[in-house]
Amino acid sequence: MTTDIVIVGVGGMGREVFRVICLINRAASPGEPRWRVLGFVDDYPTEPDLVLVHRLGAPFLGPTRRLSGLPSATRVALGVGRPRLRRETADAIAHYGLPAATVIHPDAEIGADCVVGEGLFAAGGARVTTNVVLGRHVHLNQNCTVGHDAVLGDYVSVNPLAAVSGHCRLAEGVLVGTTAAVLPRLAVGRDAVVGAGACVTRDVPAGVVVTGVPARPAPPSAPDARPVVMAAHGRQDEVDHPA
C-alpha cells in the first residue's frame, strides 16, 4: 500500500524528513507500506532552500494553501525543527484536516509499551526504551535517547545525541539541544530550552533557557532580529527563543 505525503517546510528539517521517508521506502519489503512524496509546501521558502529541495529531486508545490483539496487520506509531515514554529504550523494547517504522518527511520527504535502521538518523527539512531509517552509532533533527532517511563509533551524536540533519562517529564514545546543530558526524574517546563551540551540536574521552569554543566539559566541575549513570522518554515540551525 502506498500513502501520499506532503512535507511542510523546505528548510533543513524538512529535507531531513524527506530523506528518512526515502530510506523507509528503500527498506520496505514487497507488500509493506510505502510513502509517495507529493512534494513540499512552505509559505516562506528561501531561494537557497528551494534550490536544495530541487537537488533532492522533490517538487515544491507552493504555499500551505496547496494542502486544500488534497484527498483526505493524504498525510502531512511537519519538517519544522523549532518546537514553537512546529506548533504554530500545525495550528495553521489544522483546518485542512489532513492527518499527520508518523515517520520513523528504519534504524530508530521505539521500545515496548510506548505511547506514540500522531506526527512523531524519529531520525536514524534515535532510541526510545520502554513505557515512554510521546506527545503529538515530537521530533527525535539522530542518535538521541529517551529512557524508560519518560513523558514528552506535544512538540518536544530532542536534538542529536541528547539523552533524556528515565522518568523525566518534558512539557509541551521543550527543546533539548544537541548532546545535552537531562538527568533522571527531572521536569522541564513548557517551552523551556536546554542548551546544547548542558547537563540538567534540577527541574527547569517553563520558558527558561538553561545552559552549561550543571545547567543554569542563561543570561538573556540580545533581541532576536531574525523573523519569526513564518508559519511553515523552521530550520534546524536556528535557535529557539521562548517568549
Ligand X SMILES: CC(C)(COP(=O)(O)OP(=O)(O)OC[C@H]1O[C@@H](n2cnc3c(N)ncnc32)[C@H](O)[C@@H]1OP(=O)(O)O)[C@@H](O)C(=O)NCCC(=O)NCCS
Which amino acids are annotated as binding site for substrate, given as ranges? 81
CB of 57 to ligand X, least distance (A): 24
Inter-residue contact 98 to 72 (CB < 8 Å): yes
CA distances in angstroms from 159 to 38, 50, 215, listed in the order given: 27, 24, 17
Amino acid identity of 197? Answer: G
In terms of CB distance, is 30 or 223 closer to ligand X?
223
H and E: helices and strands count for the chain: 3, 23
CB of 146 to ligand X, least distance (A): 16
Cβ density class 169-188: b for 16+ within 10 Å, e for less: bbbbbbbbbbbbbbbeebbb
Inter-residue contact 62 to 143 (CB < 8 Å): no
Chain residues binding ligand X by CB under 6 A are: 159-160, 177-178, 193, 195-197, 209, 211-212, 218, 221, 236, 239
CB of 144 to ligand X, least distance (A): 10
CA distances in angstroms from 216 to 66, 84, 85, 204, listed in the order given: 44, 22, 25, 9
CB of 222 to ligand X, least distance (A): 7
In terms of CB distance, is 143 or 178 closer to ligand X?
178
